Amino acid sequence: MAELWIRLPDRAPVKLGRDRAALTIGRDPANDVVLEDSSLSRNHARLTWRDGTATLEDLGSRNGTLVNGDRILEPRQVRGGDEIVFGRLSIRIEEGPDIPAAQDSSVSFLMDVDRLRASSPGTQDIGTARRWKEALDIVHALSLDMLGDVSTEMMLWDLLERLYAFLNPGRGAVLLRNGKGPMTQVAARSRSRGHDFQVELSKTMLEAAVERKEALLINNPMLDSKLAQAQSIMSSGITSIMTVPLEHGGEVVGIIYMDAGPMRGAFTEEDLRLVAVVSHMAAAKIRTTRLMEELVVKQAMQKEMEVARRIQERLLPDRCPALDGFELFGINVACWNVSGDLYGFWPGPGGKTWLAVADVSGKGIGPGLLMATFQALMQAWTEGAEDPALLAKKISLALSKRTTTNRFITAFLGLLDPAARTMTYTNAGHNPIPLLRADGTDEELASQGFPLAMFPGTEYGQGSIRMEPGDLLFLYTDGITEAADPQGVEFDLAQVRRTLRGLGALPLPELNQGLTAALQEHTRGAPATDDRTVVMVRRA
């Protein structure tokens, strides 16, 4: 291992290696590294170097020693890139033969905001204690405000005004973010310009607050080459800056920013801690308010979806028509509140009956509305129509004018003639439809054209079947055949046919119950991921 450099806050790095094999750290002046912070013990920890290996040992400190977030209870090897925390002070281990490039010497305090809030203030004199009683009064007043029914913007303005009066900065601002978007300034206060200024946060500040959730205290920002280029800092003579994330539950919803000039003096760690505490409270209020707003919107959407579902249910048949010599059955089970499937029966010419099963691409309100349009077109045009292919072409053209190019409908349209015991049909890009003959043979009514609205104006083919006593025509949508078990094996059409054959000549409602039970057994009770629609036609 190369020799190590100990990166210390606000001072030059210290080397650990062949020339210096041990370093003691603590508040006592006799230590090799003296850190005057009340969170450290007098003799806090020791770093030793032996045979190319660095070892860190806690010397029984009061507040402990952490390596990469883990408290050490016995000597532990450390290496380049490790972060060590003594009490509440963070240092970093860097590896290499040369002195590492200097970091921002202006950063006098940087700490994870959770750790900062949890740490205890140092020893206090009477004046300091009196001041922090005032700080507690601010926290108490803000907590009462946040319990009330106050808007986020008003709450943040009040928070800024209270902090401004107590900390006496030159400028202060609160910025909010919506989701993952950029920060937007929602409140500001300036000693020289009132509320009329816009804060400019550097990349250093944004990364510390948003990405690492760290509170940042910068004294002498002109020593930072990045910050020194900011026009606002150069022109205003800023000498001290604080940025604290508005963080709660691991989510950063904004930033509190404050700066001061030489007349005020530098901000302290205790100032930073107060802002961290109230920012945490504010972030909790903001997140709760947003969650409530999202809940209200979600509940309103659910109500709208329920209304849409009730309307859609009225578009589905409330009963199947009674046809001489035939038994009919139909059912739709929506996966979501609004189904993209539809089935129906409509009177045709000369005592004939139209029937259809259809499936719109996609899920939700959009497909549901397109399906309502399809149902309306069937209602309007089937009574005088006798040719399924021409009807499919006409509906496809009409639907294409009422939807986007990525929406289409697969459909099976059939015209049943009870007197002739025949059905003329068109399969518009729909699944193969099985016809289970009473003699044990099977047929499939395959697709005869593109889905409706996909290529408007194209021609459709059509076919005709004659149904003998006991023959069963099974119409369905792919929510049946694409239902899968936990291993991804689908309940395919071959399994549908075997199940129907095995159930025999039960009444159609009981036949559907048996099919549903087999489907649930196959999927092992997993919830449906697509709408399921079934129409069965049996010759008596």
Alpha-carbon distance values, 528 to 87, 357, 360, 363 (Å): 54, 19, 17, 13
**What is the DSSP pairing of strand 240-248 with strand 251-260?**
antiparallel
Average pLDDT, whole number, for the chain? 84
Task: Give me the residue label for tokens 């020339």.
Answer: 19
Return d(Cα 504, Cα 517) in angstroms, integer.
Answer: 15
* Among candidate residues 262, 357, 269, the one with its CA nearest the CA of residue 39: 269
Q: Comparing 506 with 336, which gets the higher pLDDT?
A: 506
Sign (positive/negative) of CA torsion 451, 452, 454, 456? positive
Least confident of 246-260, 311-325, 422-436: 311-325
Q: Which structure tokens are listed for 94? A: 């860097």
Among all chains, which residue has been given the structure tokens 């802002």? 275
Angle at 529 between CA 312 and CA 473, to 5 degrees: 70
Confidence grade of residue 370 (pLDDT, cut at 50, 70, 90):
confident
pLDDT at site 309: 67
Per-residue pLDDT band for 257 (boundaries 50, 70, 90) equals very high
CA 70 to chain centre: 30
Mean pLDDT of 131-135: 70
pLDDT value at residue 119: 61
Q: Mean pLDDT across the stretch 418-444?
A: 96
In whole angstroms, how far apart are CA 124 and each of 38, 62, 127, 130, 270? 11, 18, 8, 9, 11
Q: Percentage of residues in the chain with pLDDT exceeding 90? A: 42
Tell me: pLDDT of 281 over 50.
yes
Q: What is the DSSP pairing of strand 33-34 with strand 22-26?
A: parallel
- Can you tell me whether residue 91 is helix, strand or coil? strand
pLDDT at 437 over 60: yes
pLDDT above 80: residue 204: no
Q: What percent of the chain clears pLDDT 70, i.e. is strictly above it?
A: 85
What's the DSSP call for residue 342? E
pLDDT tens digits, residue range 19-55? 788 999 988 888 888 877 778 899 999 999 998 899 9
**What pLDDT, in 10s, does the model give residues 478-503?**
999 999 998 889 999 999 999 999 99
* Of the ranges 198-212, 257-271, 370-384, the best mean pLDDT one: 370-384
Give the neighbor-by-neighbor strand order of the sheet with 353-360: 341-347, 353-360, 409-417, 422-428, 463-466
pLDDT digits (tens, 9 = 90+) for 307-319: 666 766 777 888 8
Q: 3-state DSSP call for residue 429?
A: coil
Query: Looking at residue 112, what is its pLDDT?
Result: 67
Could you write out the DSSP letters of every residue in 485-531?
Answer: -TT--B--HHHHHHHHHHH-S--HHHHHHHHHHHHHHHHTTPPPSS-
Least confident interval from 71-85, 277-291, 346-360: 277-291
Residue 104 has pLDDT above 70, yes or no: no
The DSSP result for 474-487, as a single string, is EEE-HHHHT-B-TT
Tell me which amino acid residue 137 is.
D
**Element spanning 153, H or E:** helix 152-167
Task: Indicate left, alpha or beta for 250 from its phi (over 0: left) and psi (-120 to 50: alpha).
Answer: left
Higher pLDDT, 527 or 79: 79
Q: Which of 95-109, 211-225, 251-265, 452-466 has the lowest mean pLDDT?
A: 95-109
pLDDT grade, residue 529 (50/70/90)? confident
- DSSP β-bridge partners for residue 346: 354
Best-predicted range by mean pLDDT among 142-146, 186-190, 416-420, 453-457? 416-420
Exposure of 127 by Cβ count < 10 A (0-12 exposed, 13-18 middle, 19+ buried)? exposed
